[in-house]
Amino acid sequence: MRTLKMRIWIATFSIAALFAPALAHTCAAQAAPRMPGELAWTIGYDPKTFDPAKVDDQESELVRYLTAGVLLRFDRFTQKIEPQLAESWNLSPDGKTLTFKLYSGLQFSDGSSLTSKDVAWSIRRVLLPATGAPVAEEFLSPSGVTIDTPDLRTVIVHLPQRVIGIGKIFDEIAIEPASRPSEGRVTSGPFIVAEYRRSQYVRLRPNPHYAKHDASGHPLPYAAGVRLDILENHEQEIRLFEHGEYDLIDSLPPDYFELLKKKTPSSVRDLGPSLNTEQMWFNQAPQAPLPAWEKAWFQSRSFRVAVSQAIHRADLARIAYLGHATPAYSFVSPANAAWYDSKIVAPRADVAAAKAGLANAGFRFHDGVLQDSAGHPVRFSILTNAGNDARLKMATLIQQDLAALGIQVTVVPLDFPALIERLMHTQDYEACLLGLENVDPDPNAMMNIWLSNSPNHQWDPSEKTPATSWEAEIDRAMNRQASSSNDAERKQAVDRVQQIVADEQPFIYLVYPNVLVAFSPQLKGIQPAVLEPELVWNAESLRLEGTR
């Protein structure tokens, strides 16, 4: 019976494969040797480019953040714009002219002097279509931007039209030596790229001519260098962190956070809600291939509000995230200092109110099953992406929450390409549960989600004209915040959008996942921030103390 033996062998092998992750844990690789005083942590993949103008992925962005000198820095901790290479800056009242005054005596890392010519060249390079810089489109019409340099320390940027949040755009423009782009080898920031080994590590060394000093006049950065190991595996990362090979871990999943907390409680920190949201929504698109009565449910405000009221968000946070998430009722997280509005009134967990609301809207309960006025039993599916443990758990919890209303929910995890195909192309789905990562706290960055004619207006993409009066009002309010230079007026407009979204529930917000980090007690100067890069936004002030 050779086949039989072979099959038993195959069966055993398959079981071994199921245990493979556990086995891998015991034979984790070693990190590259560390130089004295060097900081080390991991990035998930190879940076796609070291050219600061072409950055389009998270890891390249981190390298740019650590190496590039910029005119203005968006302080990740205070969430305010601070001048960096610029001594001062101002924006004309019409919002079309920016004037930067550089510090005197600025130098690049190779010792050559940094003047307004280098600044003008760097900005022009970013604006050129040939460069393909993703930042360029934030200027709205990059081809119309002109730059003057009346003297070696003054740069004047003329914009063809007002751009909201223009200051923050300069946080992403690295100032490089004119006509000598170096892919991070010659910079005006705290570090320079020293060595890169594909799939192994990126090594940065301090810029000897960095302009900033600490309060006592000691030159920054403190660290003798930074090594970014390219490592995708959380298991290995945590193991090496425990062995002191790595100094910090940003964005820990909740279960690993708990594991690490058990071993070294002093090293982990829950920073509270992130800017990111997890939400579910119903497909309201009139062209969706769904039965007419289902579309009628999903387009009914009462139905959406009842579903929102039936969901126990505290349970989602406590069970799916092990307590490391915060119930969410709006798209602006409490972590967003400038834009959060505590006065938003949103539906809270209240099953009795949900039942009453459904009854008022013509739904009725029949043998424990919710039916619409025509007698169709209410049942629908919730899509989510396969492999995301927290989302699958939330969907399964919501399944039971909605069973209390007599609604039968099917949870369908799909692989990501199949999911996107349904969301973006065929629109063949009923409800979906996904998250949104917000890197930029300014709600202007969410224009493409809220404007009704946008293809990313998920519940009903690319509307020719707003389908409802409240969507028209969202459009008006979002356009108002985008065209106003008055911060109070912008805030008012965004608050209004938040209240409409809370009333109408096109997105049913579920939780803000918390920012979970870990760092070595020997790492001094650390000031964890909720915005990326959470732990190393002040990398130049970080240093290691004691022997490891």
| Distance between CA atoms of residues 157 and 160, nearest Å | 10
Among residues 219, 244, 253, 334, the one that binds another protein under rule CB under 8 A: 253
Q: Which stretch binds another protein (CB under 8 A): 7-15, 152-160, 274-282, 470-478?
A: 7-15
| Distance between CA atoms of residues 34 and 40, nearest Å | 8
User: Residue for token digits 């245990």?
Assistant: 19
Number of residues this chain uses to bind another protein (CB under 8 A):
50
CA distances to 237, 266, 320, 517, 548 from 263, in Å: 15, 9, 22, 15, 18
- For residue 34, the minimal CB distance to another protein (Å) is 25
Of 73, 85, 512, 70, nearest in space to 321 by CA: 512
| Distance between CA atoms of residues 464 and 452, nearest Å | 8
DSSP category for residue 377: B
- For residue 100, the minimal CB distance to another protein (Å) is 48
- Of 95 and 323, which has the nearer Cβ to another protein? 323
Q: Is 380 a residue that touches another protein (CB under 8 A)?
A: yes
- Of 166 and 518, which has the nearer Cβ to another protein? 518
| Subset of 305-324 contacting another protein (CB under 8 A) | 312, 315, 318-319
Among residues 186, 383, 402, 407, the one that binds another protein under rule CB under 8 A: 383
CB 174 within 8 Å of CB 187: yes
Of 57, 187, 43, nearest in space to 134 by CA: 57
According to DSSP, the residues that pair with 248 across neighbouring strands are 519
User: Residue for token digits 């604006």?
Assistant: 127
| Distance between CA atoms of residues 17 and 6, nearest Å | 16
- For residue 200, the minimal CB distance to another protein (Å) is 24
What does the per-residue mask of binding to another protein show for 229-248, with x meaning CB under 8 A? ------x-------------
Among residues 78, 90, 287, 400, the one that binds another protein under rule CB under 8 A: 400
CA distances to 311, 438, 456 from 382, in Å: 14, 23, 19
What does the per-residue mask of binding to another protein show for 266-305, with x meaning CB under 8 A? ----------------------------------------
Q: Which stretch binds another protein (CB under 8 A): 115-123, 163-171, 191-199, 424-432?
A: 424-432
Q: Is 387 a residue that touches another protein (CB under 8 A)?
A: yes
Among residues 38, 183, 242, 258, the one that binds another protein under rule CB under 8 A: 258
| Distance between CA atoms of residues 392 and 280, nearest Å | 12
- Cα torsion angle, 426, 431, 433, 434, sign: positive
Q: Which residue ranges make up the site for another protein (CB under 8 A)?
A: 1, 3-4, 7-8, 10-12, 14-15, 17-19, 21-22, 25, 235, 253, 255-256, 258-259, 312, 315, 318-319, 379-381, 383, 386-387, 389, 392-393, 395-397, 399-400, 410-415, 418, 428-430
